[in-house]
Amino acid sequence: MKRRVLPGTGLAVSEVCLGTMTWGEQNSPEQAFEQLDYALAQGVNFIDTAEMYPVPPNARTQGRTETILGEWLSRRGRGDLVIATKVAGPGRRDWIRNGRTDLCREVIIEAAHTSLERLKVDWIDLYQIHWPQRNVPMFGAVEFDPSREREGPAIAEQVEAMAQLIRAGKIRHYGLSNETSWGVCEFHRAARTLGVPGPVTLQNSYSLVSRSADGDLAEALFREQMSLLAYSPLAGGMLSGKYLDGALPPASRFALFDTLGQRFRKPMVAEAISAYAALARERGISLVQLALGYVRSRWHLGASIIGATTMAQLRENIDAARFELDAPTLAAIAEIQQRFPNPAG
């Protein structure tokens, strides 16, 4: 599998990153270990998790995913694996540190140490802020609402916390997630002012139906020399084709958890996916190959984050994430995007 060096890091990561958010809820530890073994055999060396996982988040399972990964790492050793995890942002998560989720220096440092203990490693390669402290439109919302402003630690304090962890050897680099263009630039401005490292990656939703990272965010990534880690490149499974024509398979995530993935359940998303499915049939490829091949083609991509609940899905997804689309297919995708620019947000 091809590897890409994340700008400013020296980290050579596989173009497929193994996602883990189902481990501990939909997947048992044994199934997670099987996924890990298979992914490594395919050349994957990049694994992404979070202190909040598995999803949907709750007090019963929080932290279980990191623990499962830690058990596997303790048996195998980390070798050349690149391990990424995240500190949860503020919100109604009373079971995380008894509700202390403001992104102040103390919380970030405590969370990193707790993740290190669960993962059973001495350092984290990429430590990410799962979502911003401040008021921003997230998870498919498109309008900024000033009435939702709230107080909280400044970005400079978050940068200082990350710098302290880097100096202590607890993390090598840090990144952002679910972040905006202003946030990316402000983190770098604060880092330059303080004379410390800035963030190196942005993990945002990105797919054929979620293209917010293609506009001003892409410019920010280019100018700040960052790369995109694309999560939900299959739009929560919508771009697998299993939900076409209103289907709702009984064991699917959207059937099991009816509040998940609301951004992908908008009527315009279904229309767009039907158009992409027709294009895939016309080209003689699968919808998964079309979707993941498109994400792979983007210049700002560092890696596609691929998760699955079954081994059959994982095999198909890893193969498809290495698929290269030809120029006529990319041109046909661009034509559909004229009709459906960013339906999921």
Q: Residues 127-186: pLDDT tens digits?
A: 999 999 998 887 877 788 888 888 889 999 999 999 999 999 999 999 999 999 999 999
Within 79-143, residue ranges assigned H as helices are 105-119
Is the residue at 12 inside a domain?
yes
The model's pLDDT over 19-76, given as tens digits with 9 standing for 90+, comes to 999 999 999 999 999 999 999 999 999 999 999 999 999 999 999 999 999 999 999 9
Task: Name, in order, each residue with C-beta under 8 angstroms of 124's C-beta and a sequence gap of 6 or more.
Answer: 83, 84, 85, 112, 115, 116, 170, 171, 172
Question: Does some domain include residue 122?
Answer: yes
Per-residue pLDDT reduced to its tens digit, 259-288 = 666 778 778 899 999 999 999 999 999 999
Residue 171 lies in a domain: yes
How far from each other are the two terminal CA atoms of the chain, in whole angstroms? 30
DSSP state for residue 336 in the 8-state scheme: H
- 276 annotated active-site: no
The whole-angstrom distance between residue 91's C-alpha and the CA centroid of its chain comes to: 19
Report how far apart, in Å, the C-alpha atoms of 32 and of each of 27, 64, 195, 279, 299 are: 6, 12, 40, 34, 31
CB 126 within 8 A of CB 170: no
207-249: pLDDT as tens digits: 999 999 999 999 999 999 999 999 999 999 999 988 887 766 7
Are 132 and 89 contacting, i.e. CB atoms less than 8 angstroms apart? yes
Domain-located, residue 70 = yes
CA angle at residue 278 from 142 to 295, to 5 degrees?
A: 50
* CA–CA dist 13, 45 (Å, integer): 6
Is the residue at 276 inside a domain? no
Whether the CB-CB separation of 176 and 203 falls below 8 Å is answered with yes
Q: How far apart are CA 300 and CA 228, in angstroms?
A: 6
Q: Which DSSP state fits 244? A: G
How many domains does the structure of the chain reveal? 1
Residue 314 domain-assigned (yes or no): yes
Q: Look at residue 298 and tell me if it is in a domain.
A: yes
Convert the pLDDT of each residue in 82-130 to its tens digit: 999 999 999 878 899 999 999 999 999 999 999 999 999 999 999 999 9
pLDDT higher than 80, residue 252: no
Task: Report yes or no on 176 lying in a domain.
Answer: yes
Q: pLDDT tens-digit profile of 290-316? A: 999 999 999 999 999 999 999 999 999
CA distance 159 to 138: 21
Q: What domain range includes position 29? A: 3-237+287-323
Q: In whole angstroms, how far apart are CA 191 and each of 87, 162, 185, 197, 257?
A: 19, 10, 10, 6, 39
CATH number at residue 180: 3.20.20.100
Catalytic residue among 38, 53, 231, 243: 53
Backbone angles phi, psi at 49, to 5 degrees: -140, -165
- Which helix or strand (DSSP H or E) is residue 201 part of? strand 201-205
- In DSSP notation, 275-307 reads HHHHHHHHHTS-HHHHHHHHHHT-TTEEEEEE-
